[in-house]
Structure 1
Amino acid sequence: MNFQSLGLAPELVRALADVGYTTPTPIQAQAIPLALAGHDLMGGAQTGTGKTAAFALPLLHRLAEAGPQRGPRKPRALVLTPTRELAVQVNDSLRTYGKHLRMNTATVYGGAGMQPQIEALRRGVDVLVACPGRLLDHLQQRTVDLSQVEILVLDEADRMLDMGFLPAIRRVLSALPRKRQTMLFSATFEESIKKLALDFLTNPQQVQVTPQNATAASVSHVVHPVDTSRKRELLIEILSKRHQDQILVFGRTKHGCNRLAEQLEKSGISAVAIHGNKSQGQRLKALRDFKSGQARVMVATDVAARGLDIPLLPLVINFDLPMVAEDYVHRIGRTGRAGASGEAISLVAQDESGLLRAIQRVLKADITVVEVEGYTPTKTLRMGNDSPARGRPAGNRPPARREGAAPRGRRPHAGTGERHAHAGPKGHGPRGGGERRQGTTDSAR
């Protein structure tokens, strides 16, 4: 199957060929024909599966097929995203795919001046990509007219609900025509998402291409037990051994990420921090420095867990485990993309044992535990059912082993080996994704 066989306009197929995309991913192969037929759509897809193109391509095709607007250009398609980073990336994708079409796109999001956005809207826009909070500002100031919107996309709908955007979404939708096509994309289809779909979609078709809360099969997972006070020391040792790799490190707080990046710099490791307190310009610069190799390490809150376009990232390190187990999947989705191999290392202190158990329940698999010589924690990491992560194991849980040492021999009642959590298909076409902002909903506007 190729993109031409899906019935897309020749201009879109040519644009895809220009960037080397010929074979649709599973979500694209299933969603695009349904969207082209005009159906409302619920698309279930993890980050890295190509979901951005799954809605962007049929959206552009349908607008091109309808022809140019008469009179002032008002948005005919609206894409709502939870964060400014995702809005920028979706807009970039739309421009890439639609470069042979005469389409104007624009983004509106918080953290940037209103006036340039107002001027872009006045010049005329076919496709508008927006964060709900800032879009409400424009609606209240009457600087945007959504009365001509034919297609609505809710991207990363689960994240928008998590961030408290539902009231804003309802207010935005009240400004849209009732007759429209609506596409909703989400990593999960929890009850809140199903209720949202019932409220906003009409007889939607549903496509789900990856198991919920699954990580790529090409990613290996490992936990290093370590005292909290020695995490930074262990991180620096790991980074010093991986001096040729670009590495994404996840922290829990904005202040902690800033401090950690500064400490890495003092240790001679080039690092940048990215989180919700950074201005849009600072965040874009940090991302550019990281992608160009000027900074080898990016320390991030969960703002970077979805949607940041970092191709072929070999390693993700959880300096702190996420407070919500499902966010582990989104963090790890930054590596092992497009079939490439990847690694996920988590530095876990004893007081994070409960978080680790929750992550294993989400993954439905154990994660390999490896003690690094010289960093044995003072308190045993407990993995569940009162089973320690080292010493005599209980049930079928494998014992921990020291890094670089041969696995321990089998003991009576010991586990039969170490297991890795993995799942998910490998795609071949253009990739897409989303991300979660750290902080309040207002900071995401």
Structure 2
Amino acid sequence: MEFKQLSLIAPLLKAITETGYTHPTAIQQKAIPIVLQGNDLIGCAQTGTGKTAAFALPLLQRLEETKTLGKLVPIRALILTPTRELAIQIGDNINLYRKYLKLNYCTIFGGVSQEKQVKEIKKGVDILVATPGRLLDLMNQKIVSLDKIEILILDEADNMLDMGFIHDIKKILTKVPSKRQTLFFSATMPPNIRKFAHGILHKPVEVDVTPVSSTAEKVNQSVFFVEKKEKIRLLTSILKKLKHERTIVFSRTKHGADKIVKLLAKNGLRAAAIHGNKSQNARQKALGEFKDSHLKILIATDIAARGIDIEQLPLVINYDLPNVPETYVHRIGRTGRAGQEGKAISFCDVEERPYLADIEKLIGLKIKIEKINK
């Protein structure tokens, strides 16, 4: 199937062609027609399968077809997302797709001055991409009004709720019109998340492209059983031996991420950490250097890493195994994207054995055990 078979308008098709995309992914094939018809939707698909375009393209088309010219634009669509990095990424994609349309957007998030964001909003924007905290802040200041919202999108909904945004989201929901189109996208859909989704959507159509347990087929997964105190030595050895272009290393905590950076530096390896305590400028600088291959090793916590889309990332290392098995799926979804091959290596100490068992149960696969060469 080609994008032109999805009833998308010519300006969008032209923009898509210029990005180099020719064939829609499975989630795009299923979701775009449903959204264009005006239905509410629950979309569940593995990371790296193109969820952003699955909602951004039909969103732009629906707004373009019903826009009013010559008036100050009220905010007509709201995209809620958990992290700054993901908000920026979504905004960048919308900017690409709207190239030949007269629709404006703005991305707002905390950790930076609100001045520039407020200026953009006051010019009039059709689409607002926001993290919940900054959005509520600007709503309380009477800078943002959501009473004209036609389409509401919750992206990475499971992560937003896991991060404690449930009360913020409920507050925001009281300020948007009850008559609206709502899209609920997530890579995982545990029962409590699904229950919440059905509570805010109206007769939603469900699209489940890959189950929660699905891990990328082209990701080669392996695990080392290693003592906690020996992890840094093993990490250093792997990074020096494999000499991958770029590697993301996952740490369970912010303090742990910073510690790994310092220990690698002592072994002659330059790395940078991204986590919630880092300033927005520091996080964007590290991400920019990593995407440009000026920085080869990125140490990340799960919250900071969600939504990072790095082309041709060959290796992910789980320095700490996650205690939530679905998080493992998200992590290794950073590699093996868009049909590329990838490798995911995990370190497992004695205390983490139960986490490994939960992960293997979820994905229905025994992860290959690697031996440490001494």
After TM superposition, the score normalised by the length of structure 2 is 0.97
Secondary structure of residue in 2 paired with 1:255: helix
1:83-132 per-residue CA deviation (whole Å, 9 max, x = no partner) reads 11111111111001111111111011111112222111111111000111
Q: Hey, what does 2:298 align to over in structure 1?
A: 298
Unaligned runs of 5+ in 1: 375-445
Secondary structure of residue in 1 paired with 2:351: helix
Quick one: distance in 2 between partners of 1:22 and 1:335? Answer: 22
Deviates more, 1:51-60 or 1:210-219: 210-219
Q: Hey, what does 1:196 align to over in structure 2?
A: 196
Quick one: distance in 1 between partners of 2:85 and 2:108? Answer: 11
CA contact (8 A) 1:47 1:306 kept: no
Instruction: Please state if 1:356 is matched with 2:369.
Output: no
Question: Shift of residue 350 of structure 1?
Answer: 1.6
CA contact (8 A) 2:213 2:364 kept: no
Q: Hey, what does 1:166 align to over in structure 2?
A: 166
Question: Shift of residue 304 of structure 1?
Answer: 4.2
Secondary structure of residue in 1 paired with 2:21: coil
Quick one: distance in 2 between partners of 1:305 and 1:214? Answer: 19
Secondary structure of residue in 1 paired with 2:309: coil
AA in 2 matched with 1:239: L
Question: Shift of residue 305 of structure 1?
Answer: 4.0
Q: 1:364 to 1:205 in 2, by over 3 A?
A: same
Question: Shift of residue 191 of structure 1?
Answer: 2.1
Q: Hey, what does 2:119 align to over in structure 1?
A: 119
Quick one: distance in 2 between partners of 1:355 and 1:34? Answer: 38
Quick one: distance in 2 between partners of 1:52 and 1:12? Answer: 14
AA in 2 matched with 1:170: K
Q: Hey, what does 2:11 align to over in structure 1?
A: 11
Identical residues among aligned pairs (%):
50
Q: Hey, what does 1:313 align to over in structure 2?
A: 313
Quick one: distance in 1 between partners of 2:335 and 2:252? Answer: 19
Quick one: distance in 1 between partners of 2:178 and 2:348? Answer: 50
AA in 1 matched with 2:137: D
Quick one: distance in 1 between partners of 2:252 and 2:139? Answer: 34
Q: How does 1:28-427 map to 2 (within 5 A)?
A: 28-374=28-374
Bigger relative contact order (CA 8 A; separation at least 6): 1
Larger Rg: 1
Quick one: distance in 2 between partners of 1:42 and 1:300? Answer: 29
Secondary structure of residue in 2 paired with 1:335: coil
1:209-253 per-residue CA deviation (whole Å, 9 max, x = no partner) reads 112121011011111111111111111111111224211111111
Q: CA RMSD in A?
A: 1.2
1:331-366 per-residue CA deviation (whole Å, 9 max, x = no partner) reads 000001111111111111122111111111111111
Q: 1:261 to 1:47 in 2, by over 3 A?
A: same
CA contact (8 A) 2:244 2:314 kept: no
AA in 1 matched with 2:251: G
Q: Hey, what does 1:425 align to over in structure 2?
A: none
Quick one: distance in 2 between partners of 1:289 and 1:263? Answer: 20
Question: Shift of residue 198 of structure 1?
Answer: 2.3
Question: Shift of residue 69 of structure 1?
Answer: 4.7
**Alignment size in residue pairs:** 374
Question: Shift of residue 307 of structure 1?
Answer: 0.9
Q: 1:137 to 1:212 in 2, by over 3 A?
A: same
Q: Hey, what does 1:401 align to over in structure 2?
A: none
CA contact (8 A) 1:245 1:314 kept: yes
Secondary structure of residue in 1 paired with 2:182: strand
1:419-445 per-residue CA deviation (whole Å, 9 max, x = no partner) reads xxxxxxxxxxxxxxxxxxxxxxxxxxx
Question: Shift of residue 196 of structure 1?
Answer: 1.7
1:293-313 per-residue CA deviation (whole Å, 9 max, x = no partner) reads 111100111124421011111
Secondary structure of residue in 2 paired with 1:230: helix
1:261-302 per-residue CA deviation (whole Å, 9 max, x = no partner) reads 122123222211111100111000000111111111001111
Quick one: distance in 2 between partners of 1:195 and 1:348? Answer: 33
